[in-house]
Structure formats: structure tokens, C-alpha cells
């Protein structure tokens, strides 16, 4: 993909340069076939992906501008993702948190301030996890929504104690199968090629991106088009709760035919 000049040019056109500066770019046109199943998740064991299925996750946001651009791209392709937000970012940018929820995406948490929990005392670690979840919940409260009980460890640095504690609290630790490493100082094309190669080698999986990264904003249209071209589908994760439909209010935008199925 890194050598596909027409696709790169197409992306640039969408974001920056005037059309007159382009040499007949191939536009990225979604076919609308990328959206896959919705999985209602009560425990990590509920996330059973079939061959060709991917879950998109975005950590460390929200960040106004970049998160909004990611949302626009996801909407272009009609797919839903899970955003694992930091409490301090959610507190600073509640409108962006709300925009993510209002567009039907799932929101989990990622601690308050991105500490390496494996280096903290158990009490301090649990406090940081709770503060993060509470801050995301506070940002969503004005629109009557709530975060999913999904959690991801910063740096993927976990301990057995914390994992067990989260399980007992009915939280779902969202693991990562494919790390895009989009925080490396690589070009968008390099991140794109690396992520697709790892996905193709594995065949399915939960993919980690960061919506705070400019290169991720740039590569996302190309990435989703590549998924579409290769026949992948994007699975939406929603929390399974004891609400009236077995799913909670944050999933209100789910297709009607999925309601009552869980």
C-alpha cells in the first residue's frame, strides 16, 4: 500500500490541497459493505471474532480536531469503533466525548492520566482506573449516555491483581491483537502497510490505533478502503447489560434488527 501513489494523493486531496494541485487522484469511495456484526460484550470471552473480522479501537483521546476527523472517516465508511478515553482528556474536551457517543461509537476508559499501572500500588492503580471511568461518565452525563465498562491498560502494562479486580467489578479488559504502533515516528503509509501486514497474517483481530495521532487521521481513509477491498468486516462492540433490551442506552443507534437479540 505504501507505493500506491494514487491512494495517497486521494487522501491528501480530502484534507489539504486544492483540486487543481492534483493529478487525477483516484478517489476513495466506500462501497458500504464494510460494516459487520455487532457483538454484545459482558466479558472478554464474548469477543469471538471470525476470520476476516476486525475491531477498531482508538486510545488516548479525545482530542478535538483529530478525533473529529477520525469520526468523519468512520462515518464515511459506515463503521463503528471503540474509543478508550483518558479521564483527563475527557474532562478537558467533553463535547468531543459526546460527539463520539452521539455518532454511535462505544466509549471505554484508559485510566485518568495514562500512568503505567504496573508501577503503582494496587490501591493507586485502582483509583486511577476509577477516576478515568468517572471522568468519562461525567463528560457523557449531560447527554444522558454512559461509557461501556470497557478498560484498556496504558502501555498494555497489566498485573494479575488488577486484571482480577477488574473482572470482579464486571469490567471488560479490552486486549489488543494488532498494534499499529501509530505512535512511532513513521509515515502514515508505513503505519498502514505494517498494520495491514499484521492483520493479513493473523486474519482477524482487535486493532489498536490512537485518535490523537495526525498520521492516524491521515491513514484511516486508506486503511478502511484497504479493509473493504480485502473483504474484511468491522465488528462493533457494545456493552451487554441488564437494560430493557439487554443493551444499554449508549447502543441506542444499533440497527433495529439487533435489538432484543441479546
> Using CB under 5 A, which of the segments 47-55, 118-126, 147-155, 158-166 binds Zn ion?
147-155
Neighbours of 262 (CB within 10 A): 17
> Using CB under 5 A, which of the segments 91-99, 151-159, 167-175, 252-260 binds Zn ion?
151-159
Dist. CA 150–CA 174, nearest whole Å: 6
> Using CB under 5 A, which of the segments 58-66, 156-164, 178-186, 223-231 binds Zn ion?
58-66
Nearer to Zn ion, 60 or 228 (CB): 60
Dist. CA 220–CA 188, nearest whole Å: 9
Q: Which three cell numbers stand for residue 85?
A: 478515553
User: Residue 73: which of 233, 255, 238, 218 has the closest Cα?
Assistant: 218
Output DSSP code: residue 49. Answer: P
Tell me if 11 sits within 8 A of 189, measured CB to CB: no
* Contact characters 18-57, Zn ion, x per CB under 5 A: ----------------------------------------
> Using CB under 5 A, which of the segments 60-68, 89-97, 188-196, 224-232 binds Zn ion?
60-68
Please pick, from the candidates 10, 40, 57, 59, the single residue that binds Zn ion as defined by CB under 5 A: 59
Nearer to Zn ion, 91 or 225 (CB): 91
Q: How far is the CB of 98 from Zn ion (least distance, A)?
A: 21
Q: How many residues bind Zn ion (CB under 5 A)?
A: 3
Q: How far is the CB of 152 from Zn ion (least distance, A)?
A: 7
Q: How far is the CB of 60 from Zn ion (least distance, A)?
A: 4
- Continuous segment of H or E residues that includes residue 53: strand 53-59
Going from the C-alpha of 96 to that of each of 102, 208, 209, the distances in angstroms are: 10, 20, 17
Please pick, from the candidates 8, 40, 60, 147, the single residue that binds Zn ion as defined by CB under 5 A: 60
Q: How far is the CB of 79 from Zn ion (least distance, A)?
A: 22
**Placement of cell 449516555 in the chain:** 145
Q: How far is the CB of 78 from Zn ion (least distance, A)?
A: 27
3-state secondary structure of 72: helix
Q: How far is the CB of 146 from Zn ion (least distance, A)?
A: 21
Buried b (16+ CB within 10 A) or exposed e, 209-228: bbbbbebbbbbbbbbbbbbb
Neighbours of 129 (CB within 10 A): 24
Q: How far is the CB of 86 from Zn ion (least distance, A)?
A: 7
3-state secondary structure of 102: helix
Nearer to Zn ion, 154 or 188 (CB): 154
Nearer to Zn ion, 59 or 68 (CB): 59
Contact status: 182 vs Zn ion (CB under 5 A): no
Bridge partners, 233 (sequence order):
53
Contacting positions for Zn ion (CB under 5 A): 59-60, 154
Amino acid at each position: 500500500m505504501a507505493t500506491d501513489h494514487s491512494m495517497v494523493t486521494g487522501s491528501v486531496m480530502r484534507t489539504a490541497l486544492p483540486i487543481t494541485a492534483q493529478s487525477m487522484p483516484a478517489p476513495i469511495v466506500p462501497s458500504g459493505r464494510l460494516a459487520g456484526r455487532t457483538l454484545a460484550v459482558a466479558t472478554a470471552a464474548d469477543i469471538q471474532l471470525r476470520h476476516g473480522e476486525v475491531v477498531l479501537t482508538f486510545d488516548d483521546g479525545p482530542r478535538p480536531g483529530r478525533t473529529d476527523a477520525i469520526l468523519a472517516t468512520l462515518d464515511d465508511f459506515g463503521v463503528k469503533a471503540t474509543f478508550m478515553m483518558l479521564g483527563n482528556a475527557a474532562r478537558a474536551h467533553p463535547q468531543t466525548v459526546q460527539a463520539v457517543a452521539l455518532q454511535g461509537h462505544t466509549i471505554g476508559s484508559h485510566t485518568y492520566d495514562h500512568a503505567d499501572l504496573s508501577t503503582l500500588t494496587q490501591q493507586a492503580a485502582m483509583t486511577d482506573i476509577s477516576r478515568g471511568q468517572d471522568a468519562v461518565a461525567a463528560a457523557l452525563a449531560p447527554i444522558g449516555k454512559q461509557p461501556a465498562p470497557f478498560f484498556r491498560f496504558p502501555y498494555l502494562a497489566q498485573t494479575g491483581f488488577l486484571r482480577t479486580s477488574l473482572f470482579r467489578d464486571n469490567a471488560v479488559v479490552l486486549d489488543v491483537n494488532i498494534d499499529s504502533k501509530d505512535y512511532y515516528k513513521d509515515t502514515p503509509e508505513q503505519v498502514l502497510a505494517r498494520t495491514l501486514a499484521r492483520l493479513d497474517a493473523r486474519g482477524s483481530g482487535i486493532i489498536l490505533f490512537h485518535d490523537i495521532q495526525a498520521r492516524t487521521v491521515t491513514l484511516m481513509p486508506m486503511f478502511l478502503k484497504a479493509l473493504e477491498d480485502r473483504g474484511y468486516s468491522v465488528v462493533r462492540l457494545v456493552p451487554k447489560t441488564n437494560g430493557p433490551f439487554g443493551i444499554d442506552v449508549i447502543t441506542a443507534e444499533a440497527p433495529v434488527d439487533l435489538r432484543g437479540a441479546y
